[in-house]
Structure formats: C-alpha cells, structure tokens
Structure 1
Amino acid sequence: MVQGASSSVGKSLMVTALCRIFARRGVRVAPFKAQNMSNNAAVCADGGEIGRSQALQALASGIEPVVDMNPVLLKPEADHRSQVVVRGRPWHTLSAGQYYDRKKTLWAVVTESLDRLRSLYDLVIIEGAGSPAELNLQASDMVNMAVARYAEAPVVLVGDIDRGGVFAQLLGTLWLLPEEERRLVRGLIVNKFRGDPALFYDGVAILEERSTLPVLGVVPYLPGLGLPEEDAATLSAVGYGHSPDDALDIAVVRLPHIANFDDFNPLQSEPGVRVRFVESVDSLGRPDAVILPGSKSTVADLGWLRTTGLHNRIGELARDGINVVGICGGYQMLGRTILDPACVESDRPETDGLALLPVATTFATVKLTHRVRARIVGGPGWMVTLAGHELAGYEIHSGRSTIADVHPWLAIAREGEGCGEAPDGAATVDGSIWGCYVHGLFDDDRFRRAWLDSLASRRRGRRALSPAPTEMPGYRERFRLALDRLADEVEGAVDIEALVEIIKK
C-alpha cells in the first residue's frame, strides 16, 4: 500500500509507476483505492464510473479498468454534498455526516472488491487518500490504515520534499500513528526532489535513523508528463503547453465543480498551443477559443458564471467571432434552457443558459455512462472535412438534450447497447460555436488538428497551424511513452528489489 504524508504528495503517480514497473516484469498487477473523491471520472467497459487515477493505473498495468478498483467514488456537488458512486453506479447524494453514518455498508463493499482483486492478480497495489494521521478521522477511516490492517499490507509512506518540511511530514506522520499501525509501515519515499539527489544523502540518513525504516528512494520532480491529474487543485490560470509568442491561446473556464478536465491534455501537448484555466473576466482576456468543460453541478456553475461576469463576456466574445466550445456540462450551459423537474441537480426547475446554441436540456434521474464510438456526420465550417470520421470517447451525464433548427453533427454508438446510433452535438452555421456530450474528442489526432487548424486560419494574416512533425507520434502513443518515462524515472530512483522483499514478507 502506498500512503502519503498529506494530500498531493504524488501517491497516485507513484502507484501508476509501480503498476507499470511490475507489469513490465511480467507480474499480474492491479490498482485499488477504496474511496476516492474526484469529479475527474473514467468509464469502464460495463459503464461503471471510477476515479480517473485508478483507470490510469489500470492502463499502466496493461489491464482493463473495472469498478472493483475504486468501489466508492465521491463526486462533490454544490451545497457541501457529494454524489456517492458505489461499484460504478450512483447510490445516494449525501452530506459528510450522512456518508459516515453508512460506513458499515460501504466497508463491506470495499472489502468485497479488494478480495475479488486479490483473488485475480499476483499483486494489488493499494493507494491511500490524504494522510493516515488525521486524528479526527481515524475512527471513520476506510481508505488508509483500515484497509492496510484488513489486507495485512505493508505500507510505503511518501512525502513531498518540493513543498518543504519533508522531515516533519514523514516522521510526524509515523509518530502520530498508533503502534499497531506504525508497524505496518515498512519504508519511506521522498518524492518531487529538484536537483542532485546526492545533496540529500544526509537527509536520507537522518530519516532512516529517526524512523528506523529504510528510505527506498528519492524520486525526482517530474514536470510535463502529460498524464491525467486527479485533483482540480492542480489547475491554474498560467498557460502551459508549447507557448511561442504566436501560440494559439485556448482558455478553459475553471468552473467551481469542473469535471473531466483531462479532456484538454491533448491540446496542451500540441506544438504552438497554449492552454490556460481561467476564473475571471480579467484572466480570460481575448483568447482564440473559450472552452466550457464538464461540470458536476451545471446549474450552480451557471450561477457562478453570472456572478463573475464571465457569462456576459463569453457571449460578447462569441458574437465577435471567437470560438466557444462546450463539452458535456459546458454543452448544456451553451444551450437556451436547463430543466430539472425532478430536482436531480438543484431545487431550480428551470435555468436559463447562455443561449449560444439551440439546445434545451432536461435532467433525468438515470445517468448515462457509456464508452462510445462517435461518427462525425458532417457539419458546418471546419467539420465538413471530417464527415464520416469515427473516434472513440465516453459519455457521463444525467442531462438529455434536444436540438432545434440545426442538424446534430455526431452519431454515437454506445458500447453494450444494440440500439443503433444516437444523435449528439450542435453547432452554429459557421462552426465557431459547438458542443457535444462526448468526452475524449481531443484524443483523436485528426479531430484535434482539424479544429486547431480552423482556429489558426481565422487569425487575420496567419496561416493554418504548422503541421506536426512527421516523426512526432500521435497523442495515444505519446501517452504510452509518458507512462514508460514515469516508470523509468521511478525505477531508476527507487530500490525496487528492496520493495520486492518487503512485499514478499
């Protein structure tokens, strides 16, 4: 089990790296996280939702993600409540107090899922959450030491030296644990080290002396991997990606309940493109395109857009010819109205959208979660050249949208359903404003480049986006290479043979 001295120390990527390392050695390995809190979700083959990090870890392991890898997923909504997803399906929407009242029921789900994985794989690598030394939460714990005790799993504790205070992080965590839990910790890892690790040899010696545990490795800071993040807290308004002076400037609105924001990782990896996450009119500026991403609380986030003034500013930019795109919840926001007669998402029966697309959305009590094949049936503007092109993605939404006055530009076939194709997506006549429900569109190299070329060609005096170098691999291949780079770096920094011995014991 990999636990952290605090949140954001790099537990998720450490588990991802270890899954990749052991899979490359021929070990049948699988990830597990009892309870995750994230709106960045993935869809499994059976339509179940799990945290994006566990899906990434499964891919690193060379296996299909399944709901047992993350049996409890909390998706924060407005009003300090969360949708509780159990074994991939929405269960209840609860406050924190209501959630902990159901611990006994959920603990049975956690242990059954873990037992199933342990029966199928040689090695299960468990990820903790936050810190195991949150004293006020220990009685209700079902994701850190409670899981380690149940599985009798040796624990590796990770600290983040980049934020400072790594001695207090690691030693303080150990000293706060009761003896029966402290004995489960078998090693330490110092993560996110900048510079020459030889400069920390004295630090390693101090940690080993004070903890009486081995420091298994000092892992370097690894920026720019391009792998999905679990936590929206990592997003910032600072542009990232390839950023020459004439780079295409894409602003993604960082909604309070932003979801599935890894949709935009492929854009960040493109030469000549800068992606910024923005939260105000001032930070928005005048980009080449504005993207409204997915949201776990569409109505609440629409209210936030109005409060911040972004609602009006996005409308002004759209009327001035700036591209505006909506994905899933963002697509709903671009429409005329959002109806919620069953109070699925809020207590407002009707909410006005931005009215940039002729779309009306009604929330249903049953959520659609599917992997899909999406076929572009043609459309206005730049979409014409893609007619007939198919791409892979997924949908995850409760809203059902109807389109007036325009033809849908997508036909989607849902995995596991034999009911033919469903229409999706709306666009303006010039193709400058468009949206749909399909996540993962930008993973497709041809689709992504066609849209970026259309942005570049709209700039006065600017030719289309420069072609990608012929030797440059496609996004999916770059993704695979990023996983291998992560594994190579961790394998070079961590004593894997010592870790194997810890596992064997």
Structure 2
Amino acid sequence: MTANVLMIQGSSSSAGKSMLVTALCRMFSRRGIRVAPFKAQNMSNNAAVCPDGSEIGRSQAVQAVAAGRDPAAEMNPVLLKPEGNSQSQVIAMGRPWRRVSAREYYRHKPDLWPLVTRALDQLRASHELVVIEGAGSPAELNLRSGDIVNMAIARYARSPVLLVGDIDRGGIFAQLLGTVWLLEPGERALVRGLVVNKFRGDLALFDEGVRLLETRGDIPVLGVVPFMSDMAIPEEDSATLDTVLSNGTPHMDDIDIAVIRLPRIANYDDFAPLAAETGVRVRYVSSRTALGTPHAIILPGTKSTIADLMWLREQGLDRAIPEIADQGAAVVGICGGYQMLGRSIRDPEHVEACVDQTHALGLLPIDTLFDEIKATHQIHAQLLGGPGWINALAGDRIRGYEIHMGQTASPQPWLQITTRSGQAVQCNDGAVRADGKVWGCYVHGLFANAALRRAWLTDLGWRGADGALPTATDLQTALDCLADHVESSLDMQQLESIIWHP
C-alpha cells in the first residue's frame, strides 16, 4: 500500500495549517479512511510523548488523536526545541540527537533528509491517506536551498498542495497570490487549491474576493473558513499565550490563575483544562506588575530550567512569588517549574549551565541533580495522599507524561508512578508543603485528570457556575466540532477529487 497524500502549506506562520490538518485527519477518519498526519520538521517546545517514549510536536500528537491513531515518531521525524542563544536541541525520530546553533543546523539538513523521507515512506506504506503539514511559508526565498519541510516534501511525495492564508491579518491577496507567484513553475503546478482562513462576518461579502483570487491566481478557492474561537484544542504557537484564557465571559469572582510566561516555556497546553472550566481565568504573565495577587501561581515546564530561573531573578519574580505564597496563594510547579520550587539545582556535568550549582526559590524541601539522560514516557500514577486537598484523593489513579532531564529527591512525595511507556515501575514523584498550598511534580498533563483538577480548584475557592461542577470540553468533542466547522466550509467534492485523482 502507498497512501495518497495531501499537503497543507501556509502563506505564513499561524495561518492555520495545524488546525486544518487536524480537521482533515478527523474528517477522513470519520469516513473510515486510515489516515495519518505528517510534518517533516517542527520547531516548538510544546512537545508530546508517544507510547514508545519517543518525542514529537504536540500538534502532530493531537492530529494523530484526530485521525484515531497512536502518535508515532514517523509523524514528526525532526523536532527542534529552542533553548535560547540561537541554539536548539534536535530531536530526530523521537530521540535527542544533538544541540546545534542555527548556522550548524543548516549544515546538518542533508543528514536529516533521508530520515525525513524514510519516515514519510513508512507512513504511506501503512495508511490510505497522509495529510502533510508544511512550516512557515514555502516562499521564504533565502531558505529554499535547505528546505526539508515545504516544497521539497511536496516534490518528493508528488503531493497536491492546498495553500491557506489568514484573512484576519489583512492582506489576503498579497499573502496567497504573492506566495504562488514566488514559487518555481514546477512548484506552482502542485498548488491545487487555495483556502481563506479566519474570516469574520458575512461570507457573501467575500464573493468578489474569491473571484479575484481565482482569476489572478488561476487556482480554485476550495473554501472560506469562518473564524472559530474557543476550540479547546492544544495550540502549537506560543503567540496564543498573549490572551487571557477562560470559558465564557470573565467575571470578577473567577478563580484567577497566573502562569509565569518563562522565556523558554514548554508544554503550556498543560493548563488548557483549567481555562476550560467555567469560572476559571488563566493568565500568562512575565512581570511582577502583571502578576498581581492571583489565587494561584503556576511555574510551568521549561526547556532550560537554570536560564529561566535566572530570568525570574532579573524580573524580581523570585521574591514576588514567595511573598504571594506567604499571603496564602497556592504555588504549583510542573517539571522545570517544580525544579525551581526547590532549594537547589546541581549541574556538575554542565548539562544546562556553566555553574555547578544554582540556588532555587526554596519553597519546597527538594534538590535536583541534572544528568544527560532525558526521561520521555507516557505514565500512569497513583496518588499517595498528603496534606490539604491531596488527602481526599489518596488511591486515585491519573495519566500523564514525562519530558525532563534531572532527578529530584523529595522527602514528601505525593505521587507514585506505576507504569512508564507501558512497563511496570514504582517511582515516587512530587513534593508538597505541609499546608498543601505549595506543590509540584514532573507529570505533564496533570490537569487533564478531572478529579485532581477540580479538587485543587475547589481548594482555591472554585464552585463553578451556579454552584455546579461544570464539565470541561472533551478533546474528542472539540475535534468533531472543528471537523464539522471546516467540512461545512470546503468544497468537499473538489477536495476529494484532488486527493484521490491527482
């Protein structure tokens, strides 16, 4: 079997490529077609862990869920995780490969191309359709010679391409037509359809715009997709963190949760389930002034714990967070944020920094030792109980995943990991202060566990809407809503013809 392919490219970053691929994977999966997503190269610290412990971009993992498949390294063979100072960790086929500067990375692209094509070939051999996502824009002329993610992939797979533009940004004609006109003739021939995304208002008002795009570009417009907000689907782009997240109109009596927007923040979709609850507001803040006096502060995961801890000090947040905790606010650390809550971080091998030891915030009696081994696992865990709100959850089981370097010794664990990547283990995790207000652990995806999420929110004073405990939007429901929204906006007959009769 060699699967048919369809590639989604964009006029720019954030044009809607990821969401369109997600919707298409869901749409064709619901038709009984064996479909898989693919993105040759992704750049994001928002990562996911596959069942075998390999690491891929979060968006590809969500697309896999939409397609009804387990996420796999073949779906995102190259993942770049920025670490600052123009350096990134390269994840190749789900495993750490090397750390490189931007300049060095371009020299390594010829080494990665065979890995990329082999991954795509493997997916095509086991599926009926592969929906391929590009990155940025295919018309970045200075990057074309080293391309391994846009038209190079389209040419290799002989894939028809849909080009999507973001009308909400303005300049949709320059976006779509300019991109098409900058392509080489052979590349331009692969573009079989245009999609106008994020349209606000009366669709009939853009009828003339569709005619102009088709006339000037000599390419059909397959659809105009209305703007869709509150999708409750994990985002790939950290630009979305600039807005306050909440379910419905924010009110003054909402539970106010401030997530520290670290420069190298990772896996920030950990907190989407909190924002999806009625009566909860999640803000991302990067200064003492913006922090205010929330009910809770969360220190999230980070690609570089020590560097972001230094940044906290530069902002004065290393003093502000303990002060607000002393006033009764809750403070939570996840992964790198958990490490920051301890007394010290030791790095004798200089895995992250050139200093052997760094003092942390001192809010939990824990110490972390960095080493070169990276833990990447899907996990199951059991709550051991503990002070405050945790006590009532003793014996409960949760699911999540680990992506971290370093080991943390804790005298007060409140979790026991029972499986890692399907293998039975007994490994304690987490620490909690005696009053239950300050706590942390290594487990990502923690707040996707409803009982734990609501127990903690209730301890903060949350009662939901009208005293009821609301249900957060289920991912599967959100994926169906997205698929319905996109499917109703596209010319499906023409799209089917492009896919199955290229």
Match of 1:128 in 2: 134
The 5 Å alignment of 1:399-418 reads 399-403=406-410, 406-416=411-421, 418=423
Task: Label 1:51 to 1:418 Cα distance change in 2 as closer, same or farther (>3 A).
Answer: closer
Aligned residue runs from structure 1 range 191-202, under 5 A: 191-202=197-208
Give the one of 451, 475, 485 matched to 1:489: 485
1:465: how far off?
A: 5.0
> Does structure 1 residue 427 correspond to structure 2 residue 432?
yes
Superposed CA deviations along residues 325-358 of structure 1, whole A, max 9, x for unmatched, are: 0000000000111111111122222111101001
Letter of the aligned partner of 2:486 in structure 1?
V
Conserved? CA contact 1:167–1:207, under 8 Å: yes
Match of 1:319 in 2: 326
Q: For residues 11 and 379 of structure 2, what CA distance do their matches in structure 1 show?
A: 39
Partner of 2:497: 501
Equivalent in the alignment of 2:233: 227
For normalisation by structure 2, the TM-score amounts to 0.96
Q: Which amino acid aligns with 2:475?
A: F
What is the distance in 1 between the residues matched to 2:472 and 2:484?
21
> How far, CA to CA, are the matches of 1:132 and 1:468 in structure 2?
51
Runs (5+) with no aligned partner, structure 1? 458-463
- What one-letter code is carried by the residue in structure 2 that aligns with 1:269? A
Cα deviation for residue 419 of structure 1 reads 5.2
User: What amino acid does structure 1 have at the position aligned with 2:266?
Assistant: A
**Alpha carbons 2:379, 2:422 under 8 Å: kept:** no
2:454 is equivalent to residue 449 of structure 1? yes
- Equivalent-residue separation in structure 2 for 1:262 and 1:468 (angstroms): 27
Pair 1:386 & 2:393 matched: yes
Please state if 1:479 is matched with 2:475: yes
Matched, 1:140 2:136: no
Distance in 2 (alpha carbons) for counterparts of 1:386 and 1:238: 30
Q: Which residue identity lines up with residue 215 of structure 2 in the other structure? A: E
Residues 474, 283 of structure 1: alpha-carbon distance in 2 compared, 3 angstrom cutoff: closer
Letter matched to residue 495 of structure 1: D
Q: Distance in 2 between matches of 1:51 and 1:439?
A: 14
**1:255-300: per-residue Cα shift (whole Å, max 9, x none)?**
0000000000000111111110111111100000000000001111
Match of 2:87 in 1: 81
Long gaps (5+) in structure 2? 1-6
CA shift in 2, pair 1:349/1:86, >3 Å: same
Q: Find out whether 1:245 has 2:241 as its counterpart.
A: no
Q: Aligned to 2:488, what secondary structure does the other structure show? A: helix
Counterpart selection for 2:15 from 5, 9, 15: 9
Alignment match, 1:112 = 118
One-letter code aligned to 2:478: A
SS, match of residue 56 in structure 1: helix
TM-score by length of 1: 0.96
Q: Using the alignment, how far apart are the partners of 1:247 and 1:417 within structure 2?
A: 39
Partners of 1:421 and 1:195 in 2: how far apart?
55
Residues of 1 paired with 2:319 and 2:180: CA distance?
52
Q: Give 1:278's match in structure 2, choosing from 272, 282, 285.
A: 285
**Structure 1 counterpart of 2:379, which letter?**
V
Q: Aligned equivalents of 2:476 and 2:467: distance in 1?
A: 18
Deviation at 1:474, TM superposition (A): 5.2
In structure 1, the partner of 2:3 is none
Q: Which amino acid aligns with 2:25?
A: C
Q: Distance in 2 between matches of 1:44 and 1:284?
A: 35
Residue identity opposite 2:296 in structure 1 = A
Contact map agreement 1:237 1:278 (CA 8 A) in 2: no
Could you say what secondary structure the match of 2:339 adopts?
A: helix
Equivalent residue, structure 2, for 1:460: none
Per-residue CA deviation, residues 47-82 of structure 1 (Å, 9 max, x unaligned), is 000000000000000110000000000000022100
Counterpart-to-counterpart distance in 1, 2:423 and 2:189 = 53
Helix, strand or coil at the partner of 1:8: coil
Q: Deviations over 1:67-117 (max 9, x none)?
A: 000000000002210000000000000001111111111000000000000
CA offset digits 1:97-152 (Å, max 9, x no partner): 11111111100000000000000100000000000000000000000000000000
Aligned-pair distance for 1:469?
4.7
Shift of 1:420: 2.5
1:176 alignment partner in structure 2: 182
Pick closer, same or farther for the CA change 1:174–1:386 going to 2, 3 Å. Answer: same
CA-CA distance at 1:473 after TM superposition: 4.4
The residue identity in structure 2 corresponding to 1:428 is R
Q: What CA distance in whole angstroms lies between the structure 2 residues aligned with 1:379 and 1:412? A: 16
Note the C-alpha offset of 1:367.
0.2
Coordinate RMSD, CA, aligned:
1.3
Q: Secondary structure at the match of 1:39?
A: coil
Q: What's the secondary structure of 1:378's corresponding residue?
A: coil
Gap change, CA 1:467 and 1:71, over 3 Å in 2: farther
In structure 2, what is the Cα distance between the partners aligned to 1:35 and 1:3? 13
Alignment pair present for 1:299 and 2:298 = no
C-alpha contact (below 8 Å) 2:246/2:277 kept by paired residues: no
> Which has the larger displacement, 226-235 or 135-144?
226-235
Q: CA deviation at 1:497?
A: 1.5
Q: 2:355 aligns with which of 322, 330, 348?
A: 348
Deviation string, structure 1 residues 408-456 (Cα, Å, up to 9, x no partner): 0000023346452100000100100000000111111110110000000
Map 1:207-218 to 2 at 5 A: 207-218=213-224
Matched residue type, 1:349: D
Residues of 2 paired with 1:292 and 1:236: CA distance?
A: 17
Q: 1:167 to 1:295 in 2, by over 3 A?
A: same
35-44 vs 338-347, which deviates more? 338-347
1:251–1:276: 8 Å Cα contact kept in structure 2?
yes
Kept in 2, the 8 Å contact 1:332–1:360? The answer is yes
Q: Distance in 2 between matches of 1:436 and 1:55?
A: 23
Residue aligned with 1:7, SS: coil
* Change beyond 3 A, Cα 1:9–1:468: farther
1:232 deviation in Å? 1.0
Deviation at 1:484? 0.5
Percent of residue pairs identical? 58
Q: 1:163 offset after TM fit, Å?
A: 0.4
Take 1:135 and 1:418, find their aligned partners in 2: how far apart are those partners? 47
Q: State how many pairs are aligned.
A: 494
Residue in structure 2 matched with residue 328 of structure 1 by the alignment: 335
Q: What is the CA distance between 1:235 and its match in structure 2?
A: 0.6
